[in-house]
Structure 1
Amino acid sequence: MRRRASDFHDEMDRRRSVRMLADEPVPRDLVEQAIRTASTAPSGAHHQPWQFVLIGDPETKRRIRQAAETEERTNYEGGRINEEWRRELEPIGTDWHKEFLEVAPWVVVLFEERFGVRPDGSKRHHYYVKESCGIAAGIFVTALHHMG
């Protein structure tokens, strides 16, 4: 048990966030497997209040990039980001440009579902939606890292 814990820690300690992505093909089935793995995440009342959407269409990725850059430009230039936050981001080198959204072979979007629908058609409230989606997102990233 200790060895497995140590091995897992070592693997996760090697994980790094990257801002530059290769445009090399990534097999769709591997990304789908990571989504299935993420969907095993614990969630409030086990409602699994999320939908993962896998996007590879270049035009859709272009439109996502345009929308993201519009919002991010407002963040950076429109005052949503205060000076302290801006200083924290400076060493990372991020700005409002999001070229990676078109370069990456796939864009995976995680949508939260605040409510679901019961078999009888009535509305069902989901619990701890943001927390549940955060856990699922973390497992998704971990699954991708584990794949190499």
Structure 2
Amino acid sequence: MSKKRINLDPKQRSFDFDTPIQEYETLRIKLLAGPEKPLRVESYEEACIEIAGTVKSAIRSWGGSREELVDAINAYFGTSKRLSIHMLNHYLSKPTEYPLPAVLIYAIQHITGSLETIATLAQAEEARVISGEEVRKLAIGKLDDAIAEMQRLKKEFRGIKK
């Protein structure tokens, strides 16, 4: 008897199963490798410049202007004139003369959605900051591992019973 040949519709969309698996594997390898090389800060001035640089980068990636950021920071803390555009410009342009107050980082990371400044501070101590999405991916990965282990044990147990 001959086997019936199955014709596939060429217009049918195929699913890319390999990409999510590859992304998962890449993330897993990166996480298992450990933190990056610690960023050693040599001086007070260098630390001020590094923090100002990460804040500037966060503002650029956010896409808003410095004026919008000042308004948002003042709204975040519930004041109208706590921070002026002139002071923010000083903090970012002359960071060694006017170091950025740490309390502003709360508002900046909330408004811009960037954890870059905090990540830089953590990297100096060989630590890593991860977002909520990354935490959820880690939890899913742990659940996947636990489910796989439970299924393996279940198969093993069934094999013993017989």
TM bin (shorter chain): under 0.3
Q: Which has the higher strand share?
A: 1
Structure label with greater radius of gyration: 2
**TM-score, with structure 1 as normaliser:** 0.25
Whose helix proportion is higher, 1 or 2? 2
